[in-house]
Amino acid sequence: MFKLFKKDLILFFHDQRSVILTFLLPVILISLFAFAYGGIGVFDGRSEHINLLVTDLDQTSSSKEIVNNIDSLEDMRIIISDSIKSRELVIKGKYACALIIYKGFQDSLEAGNAAPVEMVYDRSREMEIGMLQQALIRTLMSSTGKIIVKKSIENYLQYYYPAIGKSISDNILQTAIKNDNIIPAIKWTSVVGEKNDTKLGLIQAVAGTAILMLLFSVAGVGTSLLEEKENGTINRLLYSPLKGSTILYGKMLFAFFISILQLTAMFLFAWLIFNMDLSVNIPALILMIIATAFAVSSLGIFLAAIAKTRQQAQNLSTIIILIMSAIGGSMIPLFIMPPILQKIALLSVNYWGIQGFYDLFWRSLPFAEIFPRILVLMSIGVVMTLASIQLFKKRIMKLS
């Protein structure tokens, strides 16, 4: 079995295409996905500025105060524009949205009426708008609230205590509206992923892409068994004292080894290039890599086992891997999928692998919490291996 393993290893490293597909392609994809998911590229912990077009048609102290408050937000950059140009720029896709404060804004607030404010936006850029919404609503609510309360207190003092001095009146107003306590301030506290520096997007990119590419690599190893069947080397192996099952075990061992090598290389790459924090639970990480490699390599061999020809195996593998990776979270992060798809994802090996790496790198869970996922991956591996052995015994005997 080890002689077969060694032969496959030499063949693998002789074949530059295989090496590129196994290592270089995943590295490129991980980099692309990592940038796409925003997990890297900004190492100072700050995200890019959100641009907002602002048109102030009211030009009152209240409207100016709101514009200033928005401008003071750390991640916000405002661009002052007129209302027509603002609409045009959003329509043309130059900006995601524009805030238009219409004339009569202050008067409406003081009268206690709905303030004439409009947000013009491009629906296709919902993610940007979503981020903007959170910051903007809080600022607007807070600012308008202050104006309303201030005006109400002023009116009250003038009506009931007309003789009160201006300095006392100002003190009362300052005390009433200071410290953002006009509306209850919600304290936003993140409780996941605070203990490490690794971004969620980077973990998604590395784990998701690594498992996807791993599936393709091991499907290739499985397919090579059918290639050997077609070019006669399997028959020749059977002429030797080797047993049919040994040939399969040799191939499985090679697929398993390449899987471990590929996964390890991907995490090391992410550590070296993207500062991925690998100082997690190391025994759990090793076990997760082994379990994922075992499950994925067994699945790859199984896909080859159910096919009759190399061409059939290639087509079948491509379809199944793409579907499984799509629903399992390799291509699209699971947390943005609808609940029904998140349930279907449980059927894919990608899901268990990616979630296991999330548990390790993002949630920093202890080994006991990660162990069930390792167990599921190992079980997938055992079932697939047993099925492959049965199928190959039949097929190998059929060969002769």
Partner 1 sequence: MIEVRSISKSYGDIEAIKNVSFNINKGEIFGILGPNGAGKSTIVNILNTLVRPDKGEVTIDGININDNRDTIKLIMGVVPQEIALYEELTAYENLMFWGGLYDIPKSELKSNVNSTLEIVDLSYRKNDRIKTFSGGMKRRINIACSLLHNPKILVLDEPTVGVDPQNRNHIFEVIERLNKEGMTIIYTTHYMEEAERFCNTIAIIDVGRIIALGTLKELREISDAKDLLTIKLADSDNETISRITSANPLIRFEGTSNILKVECENISNDISIIINHIQNSGGVIESIYTQGTNLESIFLKFTGKKLRD
* Other Cβ atoms closer than 10 A to 234: 19
SS3 breakdown of the chain: % helix, strand, coil, rounded to 5?
70, 5, 25
- Which listed residue (41, 93, 130, 232) binds partner 1 by CB under 8 A? 232
Q: Which two tokens stand for residue 9?
A: 């290893």
In the complex with partner 1, the residue whose CB is nearer, 111 or 399, is 399
Q: Which two tokens stand for residue 278?
A: 């690998």
Q: Are 34 and 205 spatial neighbours (Cβ–Cβ below 8 Å)?
A: yes
Classified as helix, coil or strand, 54 is: strand
Residue 196, CA atoms < 13 Å, CB-side half-sphere: 23
Of 252, 230, 211, 231, which is closest to residue 307 (Cα–Cα)? 230
Q: Which stretch binds partner 1 (CB under 8 A): 103-111, 212-220, 239-247, 302-310?
A: 239-247
The owner of tokens 């899901």 is 351
Site for partner 1 contains 245 (CB under 8 A): no
- Beta strand 97-101 pairing with 50-56: parallel
At closest approach, how far in Å is the CB of 208 from partner 1?
Answer: 32
Q: Which stretch binds partner 1 (CB under 8 A): 175-183, 231-239, 296-304, 316-324?
A: 231-239
In the complex with partner 1, the residue whose CB is nearer, 18 or 342, is 18
- Which residues between 264 and 283 bind partner 1 (CB under 8 A)? none
What distance, in Å, lies between the first and last C-alpha atoms of the chain? 21
C-alpha–C-alpha distance, residues 257 and 1, integer Å: 13
- Which listed residue (119, 153, 242, 387) binds partner 1 by CB under 8 A? 242
Site for partner 1 contains 239 (CB under 8 A): yes
Rounded (10°) angle between helices 209-231 and 282-305: 40
At closest approach, how far in Å is the CB of 94 from partner 1?
Answer: 54
* Other Cβ atoms closer than 10 A to 324: 20
Residue type, 66: I
Q: Are 128 and 85 spatial neighbours (Cβ–Cβ below 8 Å)?
A: no
- Which listed residue (112, 240, 338, 340) binds partner 1 by CB under 8 A? 240
Q: Which residues pair with 79 in a beta bridge?
A: 53
Site for partner 1 contains 235 (CB under 8 A): yes
Q: Which stretch binds partner 1 (CB under 8 A): 81-89, 152-160, 229-237, 383-391?
A: 229-237
Q: Which two tokens stand for residue 332?
A: 């699209």
Site for partner 1 contains 237 (CB under 8 A): yes
At closest approach, how far in Å is the CB of 394 from partner 1?
Answer: 14
The owner of tokens 């100016």 is 64
Q: Which stretch binds partner 1 (CB under 8 A): 21-29, 30-38, 225-233, 369-377?
A: 225-233
At closest approach, how far in Å is the CB of 190 from partner 1?
Answer: 51
In the complex with partner 1, the residue whose CB is nearer, 167 or 240, is 240
At closest approach, how far in Å is the CB of 228 from partner 1?
Answer: 9
- Which listed residue (241, 283, 338, 339) binds partner 1 by CB under 8 A? 241
- Which listed residue (129, 149, 238, 265) binds partner 1 by CB under 8 A? 238
In the complex with partner 1, the residue whose CB is nearer, 189 or 240, is 240
Site for partner 1 contains 192 (CB under 8 A): no
In the complex with partner 1, the residue whose CB is nearer, 179 or 400, is 400
At closest approach, how far in Å is the CB of 237 from partner 1?
Answer: 7
At closest approach, how far in Å is the CB of 307 from partner 1?
Answer: 20
In the complex with partner 1, the residue whose CB is nearer, 17 or 46, is 17
Of 22, 17, 12, 16, which is closest to residue 213 (Cα–Cα)? 22
Q: What is the CA 242 to chain-centroid distance, rounded?
A: 47
At closest approach, how far in Å is the CB of 28 from partner 1?
Answer: 24
Window 381-400: contact mask with partner 1 (x via CB under 8 A): -------------------x
The owner of tokens 């850029």 is 125
At closest approach, how far in Å is the CB of 241 from partner 1?
Answer: 5
Window 3-22: contact mask with partner 1 (x via CB under 8 A): x---x--xx--xx-------
Angle at 111 between CA 110 and CA 117, to 5 degrees: 75
212 CB-near residues (< 8 Å, 6+ apart): 29, 321, 325, 330, 331, 350
Interacting residues with partner 1 (CB under 8 A):
3, 7, 10-11, 14-15, 231-233, 235-242, 400
